[in-house]
Amino acid sequence: MRWLSRSYLTLVYLLLYVPIVVLVVFSFNDSRTGYSWGGLSLRWYDSLFNNHAMVQAMWNSLWLALTAATVSTIIGALTALALHRYRFRGKRVLNGMLFVVMMSPEIVLAISLLGLFLLLGLKLGYVSLLLAHVTFCLPFVVITVMARLSGFDERLPEAARDLGASDFTMTRTVLIPVIMPALMAGWLLGFTLSMDDVVVSTFVSGPSYEILPLRIYSMVRVGLKPEVNALGTLLLVFSLVMLMLSQWILSRSKQ
Amino acid sequence: MTKTLLSLSGISKQFDGKTVLDELSLTIDDGEFITLLGPSGCGKTTLLRMMAGFEHPDEGTVTLSGVDITQTPPEHRPLNTVFQNYALFPHMSVFDNVAYGLKMEKRPKAEIAERVEEALAMVQLEDFARRKPHQLSGGQQQRVAIARAVVKRPKMLLLDEPLSALDYKLRRTMQVELKRLQRELGITFVFVTHDQEEALSMSDRIVVLKDGHIQQLGTPREVYERPANVFTARFVGQTNFFPGRVTNIEGERISVDVFGLNRDLNKPSFRVAMKQSLHVLLRPEDIRVLAPDDTEGVAGKIVERNYKGSTLDSMIELEDGSHVMASEFFDEDDPTFDYSIGERVRVSWVDGWEWLLAEEGDEPLTDEEELAADDAEH
Amino acid sequence: MMRSIKQQPFRAAVLVLVWGWLLFLVLAPNMLVVGASVMTRNPSTFISLPLNLDAYRQLFNPLYLDVFLHSLYMAALTTLICLLIGYPFAWALSRVEKRRQMLLIFLLIVPFWTNSLVRTYALKLILATNGLLNSALMSLGVIDEPAQLLYTEGAVIVGLVYLLLPFMILPLYSVFEDLRQDVLLASHDLGAGRLATFKNVVVPLTLPGVLAGVMLVLLPAMGLFFVPDILGGSRNLLVGNVIKNQFLDARNWPFGAAASIVLTLTMALLMFAHRLSKRRLGEEGA
């Protein structure tokens, strides 16, 4: 029984990870065709970094992810704080709306935002991407911070004020340091979600601001491009580092 | 010469339409150890939070040394609180926790270091300054919380059930510790608890609260021996309530019929009339259990016996079906003394050890109070 | 009891910001989609009056109905496969000792953090005509000629299962984690066999997880348009592809909006079922 369940777990993990391993291995493949092994090489990484448009898209994506993660962390943290600390009318509605945003298919969010931006006459580009990315990152940040706040001792803010801190000082010296790990984890998640998004970006981006996932999308629709192996490997490593960082921050703070 | 430090007058507070405190007035003297005692929901914590400034009364005023502080926010009150679960800042070291209040006062670094060390020494935690709260035991965290509050030299220390999270033995140690601290510092302590034993052993005065009203205010001895009403008598310690009927009034003495026995007693402070029913209260330790052939007392039989180490507690069923609790100390001559269930005995008490209370429409204890009273016993 | 110390200006600012964002970027756009779905297609302004239900009628046009039903079929099959793989997987995972479990869970979260487009592309490397799988099968002598694996319905389903399996496993894992061993022992103790225990105890207790998993898999399985784009060719389209084409290529907004409302309604239905199942277990609805 135990043997069976072990091998079953192993098999499924194998299936999940084989394609990724293949991609990484092939990114170092010298062969042009991309199907057969032609020896070890870094040529695809080289050609990637010599492609000016590609590098530009990379920078665009990084900047977008950076700003989207930051804005969504700020708004998300404030939302979580409001949900946690205040009693107000429509609290359940707000909670529900965040849940719906998180559950609803990305494509539905995408077209609704496209409609809004066109109605407002907003030129599709960085701003529209930012607004869209912040919107889909928001619920994830809120959830991460809420999880931290739910274990937060209600008496801590009172203790701070009892010892002479104003509400502002209390927020700065107690509240923010305590929820910091959640803020960082939320930021990292937002950053990664933004870096990886294809569906929403397909709708709300314009020619003025090309981002990496869309560039990859246009490359992989037809045939196989060895550069994509290299780029995909870089993105995978990048995401993995972000995830490990976030896990480390959260586990360290649990002590 | 005692002088008033804090006074609450006509305090009322409602939460969601439910009255928690009802026109309550109380003055606290400088330097005393006063305990707010009552079952959960009696308003004791709300009262404490009002002193600290976390709640503001709907009506009434709070004055500290003659200054109205009713609306003053907590950070501007010269009072500090020790919270129920300590509320130590988890991201700060013990030193930084204790230094926090002094930093808020913008004290010079050297002074902060000195005073923090002094406070930590006082609670015997000098060697733990660099630790984080989660590296300390419950008792140590408790001490840090106390050090953090007293380092600011408040005029008054508010303690919100500070010992409730500790186990029984540690709780006893901390009770002694707190008393010592209070003597050394000379600060007024306001202590909230639902544990009557704790209240009796620590306080100069006890405020017994129920439903937002003060039931009794007095020294532990007064509260225990001369409860003002049925609630206090039932909540503080265990008590036998015997039904009495006045049969004769003569000057300062009255005669009361209890279980057919006629006892001559001192006249109580409340008005009594002939044939009036009243409660005759006797603590279990005041009951005398006699041999069945004794001439005194009422006949009954043992229905329950509990060995308690230093005492033998028993329950005696009288012939009319009512129950009497008795608690007897083991005496040196007969260390093996014991009862067997069903054993026939007689029950009596020494004249003058009873306490009389008027009947109050005789409300039975609600479940919640019963639970709280049970709680308080353990 | 109110414990918070209110700071009115800060509170007001936060609430205005949050509500503003959600109303402006979530509620308003969605209302817009509902509005667009009942308007008339217009090549220059995208949508115009008069109001009508043509877009919804068009959903039942045999041409599109076929695409929808095919998409629904693929999504349902994907969900079923994910459930069949994921259910025993989550159970087995919840039985692994705690220390190793942490690592295994981490390996399951990785896909959530990595680019799904890149991972879909990685599948293409394996499934291509002269890709790894064909080469392997040929060298093993199972087949003589490369089989057409790519650009088939099967490829799309494999792609969707590959991308969405962790989303099925994670909620299932969390219900299995909560499933206490003593409940199963109690069932055996009361005379139930393995099968009876599974049917009467395990299934009802894990149902909320199943529904959460179905919700997390079925909806994306209808929307992830890049999967058929990369693996499926032109005949295996998802609802997502239809919506995308209507908005970006065919410029038929009312129809695209109507199609997306179908997706939203499916989601609402699933959420309702999920809530119901949780409430039946006496937990607070999500």
Neighbours of chain C (3+ CB pairs under 8 A): A, B
pLDDT of residue A255: 53
d(Cα C46, Cα C44) in Å, to the nearest integer? 6
Q: Please report the number of interchain residue pairs, chain B to chain C, with beta-carbon separation below 8 angstroms.
A: 7
d(Cα A109, Cα C33) in Å, to the nearest integer? 10
Q: State which residues of chain A have pLDDT below 70.
A: 1, 33-36, 254-255
- Window 149-168 of A: residues touching B by CB (8 A cutoff) are 153, 155-156, 158-166
Supply A231's token pair: 């780029």
Q: B108 to chain C, minimum CA–CA distance in Å?
A: 29
pLDDT of residue B309: 80
Which of B15, B73, B74 lies nearest to residue C1, judging by beta carbons? B15
pLDDT of residue B332: 67
Residues in chain A, total? 255
Q: C97 to chain B, minimum CA–CA distance in Å?
A: 26
φ, ψ dihedrals at B264, nearest 5°? -95, 120
Q: State which residues of chain B have pLDDT below 50.
A: 362-378
Q: Is the dihedral of CA C263, C265, C271, C274 positive or negative?
A: negative
- Window 35-74 of C: residues touching A by CB (8 A cutoff) are 36, 46
Asked if B54 and C1 come within 8 Å (Cβ–Cβ), the reply is no
A251/B contact by beta carbon, under 8 A: no
Alpha-carbon radius of gyration of chain A: 22
For chain B, how far is it from start to end, CA to CA, in angstroms? Answer: 37
Asked if B15 and C2 come within 8 Å (Cβ–Cβ), the reply is yes
Asked if B54 and C5 come within 8 Å (Cβ–Cβ), the reply is yes
Contact (CB, 8 A) for A174 and A165: yes
A176/B contact by beta carbon, under 8 A: no
For chain C, how far is it from start to end, CA to CA, in angstroms? Answer: 24
**pLDDT (tens digit, 9 = 90+) per residue, B75-93?**
889 999 998 888 888 888 9
Residue of chain A whose alpha carbon sits nearest to that of C220: A105
Alpha-carbon radius of gyration of chain B: 25
d(Cα B245, Cα B324) in Å, to the nearest integer? 18
Residue to test with chain B: of C3, C5, C8, most B Cβ within 10 A: C5
Residues in chain C, total? 286
C2/A contact by beta carbon, under 8 A: yes
Contact (CB, 8 A) for B265 and B353: no
Amino acid found at A89: R
- What single string gives the DSSP state of each residue in A141-169? HHHHHHHHHHTS-THHHHHHHHTT--HHH
What is the mean pLDDT for each group of 10 consecutive residues in chain C (286 residues)? Answer: 49 85 89 87 74 82 87 93 95 87 87 84 84 80 79 90 92 87 79 80 86 89 89 83 87 88 86 81 52
- DSSP letter for A29, please: B
Within 10 angstroms of residue B209's Cβ, the number of other Cβ atoms is 27
The complex scores an ipTM of 0.84
d(Cα A178, Cα B249) in Å, to the nearest integer? 70
Complete edge-to-edge strand list for the sheet that includes strand B253-258: B261-266, B253-258, B240-250, B277-282, B355-358
Contacts of B243 (CB under 8 A, 6+ apart): B258, B277, B279, B280
In C51-202, where does DSSP find H-type helix?
Answer: 54-59, 62-95, 98-113, 116-127, 132-139, 153-178, 181-189, 194-197
Amino acid found at A250: L
Q: Is the dihedral of CA B341, B345, B350, B356 positive or negative?
A: positive
Single out the residue of A18, A13, A1 nearest to residue C85, CA to CA: A13
Residue of chain B whose alpha carbon sits nearest to that of A157: B87
Number of H helices, E strands in chain C: 14, 2
pLDDT of residue C6: 46
Which of A162, A174, A178 lies nearest to residue B52, judging by beta carbons? A162
Contact (CB, 8 A) for A37 and A220: no
pLDDT of residue C283: 55
φ, ψ dihedrals at C177, nearest 5°? -65, -40
Three-state SS string over A55-102 comes to HHHHHHHHHHHHHHHHHHHHHHHHHHHHHHHCCCCCHHHHHHHHHHHH
Contacts of B367 (CB under 8 A, 6+ apart): none
Contact (CB, 8 A) for C58 and C75: no
**pLDDT (tens digit, 9 = 90+) per residue, B4-30?**
899 999 999 998 888 889 899 999 999
pLDDT of residue B377: 44
d(Cα A179, Cα B352) in Å, to the nearest integer? 63
Phi-psi sector, B53: left (phi>0), alpha (psi -120 to 50), beta:
left
Contact (CB, 8 A) for B72 and B50: no
d(Cα B291, Cα A55) in Å, to the nearest integer? 102
pLDDT of residue C43: 72
Single out the residue of C47, C20, C21, C24 nearest to residue C35, CA to CA: C47
Contact (CB, 8 A) for C243 and A109: no
Contact (CB, 8 A) for B30 and B188: yes
In chain B, where does DSSP find H-type helix?
Answer: 44-52, 94-104, 109-122, 138-150, 168-185, 196-202, 220-225, 230-235, 367-377
Q: Mark out chain C residues that contact chain B at CB-CB < 8 A.
A: 1-3, 5
**pLDDT (tens digit, 9 = 90+) per residue, C129-156?**
777 787 888 888 778 777 787 888 889 9
- What single string gives the DSSP state of each residue in B336-363? T----TT-EEEEEE-TT--EEEE--TTP
Q: C73 to chain A, minimum CA–CA distance in Å?
A: 18
